[in-house]
Amino acid sequence: MGFLDKAKATATQAMQQGQAKVGAIQQSRAESDLYRTLGEATYRAQRQGGDPAAVEAAIAALDTHFAQVAEAAAAASATAPAAAPGGSPASGQMGGPAAAPTSQQAAPPSGNFTLDDM
């Protein structure tokens, strides 16, 4: 029975790592969509006389997304110490880098920038 238990633990670990990768890819796609929406709204507002409220709505959507990511990371880190003694350093490494860029991106520099500044 020891062999089957080890095989089951390995399969469970592989499944968790796969789910983490899928989650990271889905998060990346969602962020890309939100950034694209923000860029389109900003361009329309500055170059085509679009509604500035659309820019604010896109920024609010990004803020909401990053708040949800931070909550999920906090929940994952709260459960990670219980899972860490189980011996999965790879799953801890996957969660760390994914959380760091989002916290850096969540606080963009403040200022009144336009497309002309680029």
Residue-wise pLDDT for 76-94, tens only, equals: 888 865 544 444 444 444 4
Q: Looking at the domain assignment, is residue 91 inside a domain?
A: no
How far apart are alpha carbons 86 and 47 in whole angstroms?
55
Q: Which residue carries 């909401």 as its tokens?
A: 64
How far, in Å, CA of 14 to CA of 8, rounded? Answer: 10
Question: Sorting pLDDT into bands at 50, 70 and 90, what band is 13?
Answer: very high
Within a domain: 29:
yes
CA 60, chain centre distance (Å): 16
If one counts the domains in the chain, the total is 1
- The answer to whether residue 27 sits within a structural domain is yes
Q: Is residue 62 a part of any domain in this protein? A: yes
The verdict on residue 19 lying in a domain is yes
DSSP letter for 106, please.
Answer: T
Task: Evaluate whether residue 118 is within a structural domain.
Answer: no
